[in-house]
Amino acid sequence: MDRPPGDRAALLAFIAADPALAALLDEARAAAARADAAHDADHLLRVALWTLRCGSGVEPRLAVAAALLHDIAHVPKDHPARARASERSAAHARARLLALGFGAAAADEAAAAIRDHSFSRGAAPAPGLGEALQDADRLDALGAIGIARCVATGVAMGARLYDPADPWARRRPLDDRAFSADHFFAKLLRLADGMRTAPGRAEAARRTAAMRAWLAALGEEIGEAPPGA
């Protein structure tokens, strides 16, 4: 393929035509089957597509490989070791890429991008693949998909959708482990400010606007408008 794949069908064809990428997708799918609904195999494919879109100068094969492996060592959101998940995924990714014939420099680049993509790690990724992967992963936490993933994660953690006594945390601290609506204000609505690529910034702005519209609609239905509405 002369150009990077531009949609899901093309991405799957690109992966199927490359034995190493096909092996990584099989492995990633098996790992994702043991993870929560927000970190399924479709999340990996969406992140792969947006890594390609955000990293126009990044080698496509390496971008897809990094995206497929970025959550390979999944740790639940409420687990004490959550902050180290990206380090574990990076170490696994480096070993697998070397075993599959990727060069040492490429394996190191992918491992560094995976290690530093995590929001909980708080690291600034390297330009190129690192920035593209971080933006792509954060974009999947925004927009319609982001809303669905937020609610799905909340359900998995036993959270309620919102606090009926104080839905927008005006009189209490934010607690996104107890209330999914709090997570929008604790994290999601701030993600657009940290995007590092031009495509990431543009898409994050669009998706954040969609989330604010959903929060406004939720406020209408529960009888209390959210902050900024």
Q: Is 125 left (phi over 0), alpha (psi -120 to 50) or beta?
A: beta
pTM for the model stands at: 0.92
- The CATH fold of domain 143-222: Hypothetical protein af1432 (1.10.3210)
pLDDT tens digits, the chain, 229 residues: what are they? 456 788 999 999 999 999 999 999 999 999 988 888 888 999 999 999 999 999 988 999 999 999 999 999 876 665 555 567 889 999 999 999 999 999 999 999 999 999 988 766 667 899 999 999 999 999 999 999 999 999 999 998 999 999 999 999 999 999 999 999 999 999 999 999 999 999 999 999 999 999 999 999 999 999 999 998 6
Long-range contacts of 121-125 (CB under 8 A, 24+ apart): 121/83, 121/86, 121/87, 125/196
Cα 56 to Cα 75: distance, rounded to the nearest angstrom: 30
